[in-house]
Structure 1
Amino acid sequence: MSKSSDKFNQGRLRSSNITVVISIALVLFLLGLFGLIVINAQSYAAYIKEQLKLEAFFNDEYDPREQDTELARQQTFIDSLKIKHVFVKSTEYISKDKASEIAKQELGIDDNAIFEANIFPASVQITLNPDYVNPKQVDSIKQIISANPIVNEVVNDDELMTTVYNNIDRITFWLMVLAAIFLVIVMVLINNSIRLRIYAKRFSIKTMQLVGARRRFIIQPFLVQSAVLGFFGALIAVLALGGLWYYFSSMVLLPFWNDDYYLLIGAIFIVGIVIALISTGISTWRYLRLRTDQLY
């Protein structure tokens, strides 16, 4: 009779542990899915910001006999941009010939006879680091670049940049708010799963206390078990998330890996294990403080 009872209890324990692991895995999977959305939204926002380029036009008033000297000065200036200024991500030199070709394409002119060559000055297109793309900083950057004597004018689409920046900033803010709310929901769900598991063992906890076991001795095994359950729940969530993202990224031709995914994976494991430990500690301590008649 005792053997069958032990097998029954062991079966219930395994079933309870599996249920807790699956519950943790599900909520962490949803958390990771939302994290993927946030990370890729930020990456896309950075890509959009990189398209808002500055263009610095060089002075076009110099002696043609000094053309080589002037080109050397322009190249020196372009090379110095990334060295001197952290806000510059990349540069592209637009020669006078290339500027004419771009203008012909934009105007739809194919006949060279009616289009005077070299009427546009040479310039450099500057791609800014996304962190510096906001209206106030861009105005300061334009002043810094314009201060060089070989630069005639620095232009960009101020209205478009302001609109895009405000929209991206608003979307990012609400994504962060939703992420915080979702994290709270995940914490509550994991806490409830762990509390139900500890509730099922409340009589065992009280029995150990009544026979003289110290509180630390009683709590420690539950903490270890909960950490293991949290780890396996997080591992299942990460594997499922990786499989889903691999399938989705291959379907829509997106890059599979992003360096920020290291942080996401770490956050999933930390949330799963830490919340499981905290919930276990609080729940176990609560039952240790109750009287025997209060357990029913």
Structure 2
Amino acid sequence: MAKKKKIGSYPNTMIIISLTAALFLIGFCGMLVVQSKKLVSIIRQNIEVRIFIDKETTEAGKDSILTNIQSRPYVQQIGDTASIQFVSKEEAAIEFMEGTKEDFTAFLGENPLRDSYRVKIQEDYFEESKLKEIKTDIEQIDNIYEVVYQENLADDINKNITKVYIILATFALIMLIIIILLINNTIKLAIYSQRFLIRSMQLVGATNGFIQRPFLVRGATQGIISAVFASIFLVILQQVAIRNVEGLAQLQEYNKLAFILLALLILGILIGVVSTTQSMIRYLRMSLDDLY
């Protein structure tokens, strides 16, 4: 005896594969956004303002500068300690020679560099206009020779990351629209093959809710299965990338990854249920002549 096919079971594999691919790409875009934000956050946390001190400044003067800087609201705090590093001119010379591989003191006869403080700035001040205000504010402190930071870095990063967010969001939206249309058509074909069964159930008095229930359950199940597969592929991709890309582990935020995976599950269920509902309403309202 031939095995009977279940209602709406024909395109199961096609629906699951299509929906899995769409959810995977949407989740991938979400991961890129999260990691981009983390990267920007790390850059912001490591941006430094270098404060060069007059050569004639005494130790008491240096301590006074340090006290003044520590009281500023824009200085990054690690616990209860301001993120300020004192770099002597000797240490600065060693760093310079390590970077250039040249001993400039040999032909100059002296070390022309200055003692300095390297100050890390709060993320909220990661804007070119605010950094300029910080520079102006610090230069008003006594015994300050010069305040230096990488100009235009903040605005360039902010502009570029905004472009990345827009591109990823647009791509994810386009993918979502395309896959909804594809899945809608696939589900319509599945239910089309069951249109006479649906009409038979109506003729024997079955309510619309009773007829729709197995189809909606199937749609939700397809969404769950697709979301699970997409989540597995995303996690595998993430782990492979972490093992092969140096420094990528620092960009991972597993709590946000869990949120993305949960969002994929909800999105998968919604797509399956909503697409099935739209298709069912059409056939439940169809006249007998239109069935043919």
TM-score when normalising by structure 1: 0.77
Alignment of 1:113-152 (within 5 A): 114-117=108-111, 119-129=113-123, 132-143=125-136, 145-146=138-139
Deviation at 1:261, TM superposition (A): 1.6
Identify if the C-alpha distance between structure 1 residues 170 and 244 changes in structure 2 by more than 3 Å, giving closer, same or farther.
closer
Instruction: Name the CA distance, whole Å, in 2 between partners of 1:187 and 1:87.
Output: 46
The answer (yes or no) to whether the contact 2:49–2:121 under 8 Å persists in 1 is yes
The answer (yes or no) to whether the contact 2:53–2:114 under 8 Å persists in 1 is no
Instruction: Name the CA distance, whole Å, in 2 between partners of 1:135 and 1:101.
Output: 30
Deviation at 1:278, TM superposition (A): 1.0
Query: 2:224 matched to 1:231?
Result: yes
Deviation at 1:293, TM superposition (A): 2.0
Instruction: Name the CA distance, whole Å, in 2 between partners of 1:192 and 1:146.
Output: 66
Instruction: Pick the aligned partner of 2:288 from 283, 288, 292.
Output: 292
Decide which moves more: 84-93 or 13-22.
84-93
Instruction: Pick the aligned partner of 1:109 from 103, 112, 133.
Output: 103
Query: 2:271 matched to 1:275?
Result: yes
Instruction: Pick the aligned partner of 1:54 from 36, 45, 49.
Output: 49
Q: What is the Cα-based RMSD across aligned positions, in Å?
A: 3.4
Deviation at 1:163, TM superposition (A): 4.0
Runs of 4 or more above 6 Å deviation: 86-90
Seq. identity, %: 29
Instruction: Name the CA distance, whole Å, in 2 between partners of 1:143 and 1:179.
Output: 43
Aligned residue for 1:91? 83
Q: Output the amino acid matched with 1:282.
A: Q
Instruction: Name the CA distance, whole Å, in 1 between partners of 2:29 and 2:49.
Output: 34
Instruction: Name the CA distance, whole Å, in 2 between partners of 1:77 and 1:101.
Output: 28
Query: 2:26 matched to 1:34?
Result: no
- Paired residues in the alignment total 284
Query: 2:188 matched to 1:195?
Result: yes
Instruction: Name the CA distance, whole Å, in 2 between partners of 1:106 and 1:239.
Output: 44
Identify if the C-alpha distance between structure 1 residues 160 and 236 changes in structure 2 by more than 3 Å, giving closer, same or farther.
closer
Instruction: Name the CA distance, whole Å, in 1 between partners of 2:258 and 2:37.
Output: 15
Query: 2:27 matched to 1:8?
Result: no
Gaps of 5+ in 1: none
Deviation at 1:284, TM superposition (A): 0.9
The answer (yes or no) to whether the contact 1:194–1:280 under 8 Å persists in 2 is yes
Deviation at 1:242, TM superposition (A): 1.5
TM-score when normalising by structure 2: 0.78
Deviation at 1:117, TM superposition (A): 4.9
Deviation at 1:252, TM superposition (A): 2.3
Deviation at 1:132, TM superposition (A): 4.2
Instruction: Name the CA distance, whole Å, in 1 between partners of 2:210 and 2:230.
Output: 31
SS in 2 for 1:290: coil
* Higher percent of residues as helix: 1
Identify if the C-alpha distance between structure 1 residues 198 and 210 changes in structure 2 by more than 3 Å, giving closer, same or farther.
same
